[in-house]
Amino acid sequence: MNEKPVSREEIFKELDEFQSLDCKYSDGRILGSMCTEAHPIAKEVFNRFLDSNLGDPGLFKGTKLIEDEVLKMIGSFLSLENPSGHIVTGGTEANIMAIRAARNLAREKGISNGEIIVPQSAHFSFKKAVDMLNLKLVNAELDENYRIDPSSVEDNVNENTVAIVGIAGTTELGMIDPIEELSDIALENDVHLHVDAAFGGFSIPFLKDNHDFPRFDFSLPGVKSITVDPHKMGLAPIPSGGILFRDNTFLDAMSVDSPYLTIKHQSTIVGTRLGASSAATFAVMKYLGKEGYRKFAEESLVKTHFLANELKGLGYDLVVEPNLNIVAFNHPNLKTDDLAVMLEERNWKVSCSVCPKAIRVILMNHIKKDNLIEFISDLKEISESI
């Protein structure tokens, strides 16, 4: 480290050089991200609340009220009036908290060798959760549309099951699992049902009036917790994830004494934590309202169907008809990895799914119709060149 202070000019010059190596959402070439550029009002508010620490909420009472308000607003579109929960760093932390609560409550019932059942399509954060929480991960099979097969869940539930996980917007394909059926299984077996709606949580509720989506939220009695990330479809800055629980018993099951803080107990994994995430999320949610999110979600679906139809017209194969704003596809005569390289050479930042192997494009807000037209023209050229 430098001994003497460095001038602002020099610092910014150096940082500019580093930053010039980063990809920019605004270029419209990042096709494989589930995050996007945060809304301007959220960025402004984030800066203003940078010093507030929700790890010690008695010092930041106003920011704590903001976090509560954000949870209430999210609860209002997930059919739960008074949710318990927190704004956390993202889907990973939210999922770990949900599984931790389920494990601790199951322990109270005498389960010591706990297992969780997750679909094969689950995000890898559940692998981290079982590793950290000393649980066993059991994979449930998928149906032909890459959604969890409830009969596979039924086959795998046993006396050690502490949680079942369903997904509303899978990471790779954006599919929505049949949560209603999982809810019945969870109730019958007295097991915690967690819904990972990290991706779909900020779009499905706004699309459901005009589209035929299955129920996935707290209106289903078996659902005990939901992950929903403002920093994905919610246009909030990173880090902003959400974990909502049906009531306080779940946070209580994880609480530890927290001496020397302004609160006596703490249930979050993280201690010192940003208030800025809550404040920025509050601002963008208020600013857009349900109407604004409906508009963004509808636009992303229009782009999704445009891309899907164009791909079919060019002879590419879709893995599955999209549920949400993700299109996964292959070329009938090319290996996915080779196609990915060809697209990378044309400066597209693509990402590949594993189950099954395919190129996947997530139609986030930063991808505009013009970007898609250019992308489709490159895919046409690739197709004609082989």
Residues that bind ligand EBR (CB under 6 A): 33-35, 90-92, 95, 123, 125, 167, 171, 196, 198-199, 229, 241
Nearest distance in Å: CB 96, ligand EBR:
9
Measured from the CB atom, the residue of 42 and 167 that comes closer to ligand EBR is: 167
Toward ligand EBR, which CB reaches closer, 95 or 266? 95
What is the distance between the alpha carbons of residues 22 and 34, in angstroms, rounded to a whole number? 17
CB of 140 to ligand EBR, least distance (A): 15
DSSP element (H, E) containing 318:
strand 317-318
Considering the complex, what minimum distance in angstroms separates the CB of residue 200 from ligand EBR?
8
User: DSSP secondary-structure letter at 237?
Assistant: P
Distance of closest approach, residue 291 Cβ to ligand EBR, in angstroms = 25
In the complex, the smallest distance separating the C-beta of residue 74 from ligand EBR, rounded to whole angstroms, is 15
Pairing between β-strand 84-88 and β-strand 136-140 as defined by DSSP bridges: unpaired
Minimum gap (Å) between residue 85 Cβ and ligand EBR: 15
Burial class (CB in 10 A: 0-12, 13-18, 19+), 35: buried
Closest separation in Å from C-beta 229 to ligand EBR: 6
Candidates 250, 377, 356; CA nearest to 311 is 377
Smaller CB separation from ligand EBR, 13 or 349: 349
CA atoms within 13 Å, Cβ hemisphere of 212: 0
CB atoms within 10 A of CB 301: 19
Distance CA 171, CA 181 (A): 21
Query: Which of 124, 371, 360, 71 is CA-nearest to residue 241?
Result: 71
d(CA 352, CA 336): 8
Interhelix angle 125-133/91-108, nearest 10 degrees: 40
The smaller minimum CB distance to ligand EBR, of residues 107 and 127, is found at 127
Q: Which residue's CB is nearer to ligand EBR, number 91 or number 114? A: 91
Nearest 10 degrees: Cα torsion 333, 335, 338, 344? 90
Choice between 33 and 248, CB closer to ligand EBR: 33
What residues form DSSP beta bridges with 357? 354
In the complex, least distance from residue 5 CB atom to ligand EBR, rounded to whole angstroms: 35
Q: Nearer to ligand EBR by C-beta: 27 or 190?
A: 27
- Please work out, in degrees rounded to the nearest 5, the angle formed at the alpha carbon of residue 365 by the alpha carbons of 359 and 367: 50
Complex with ligand EBR: residue 168 or 342, whichever CB lies closer? 168
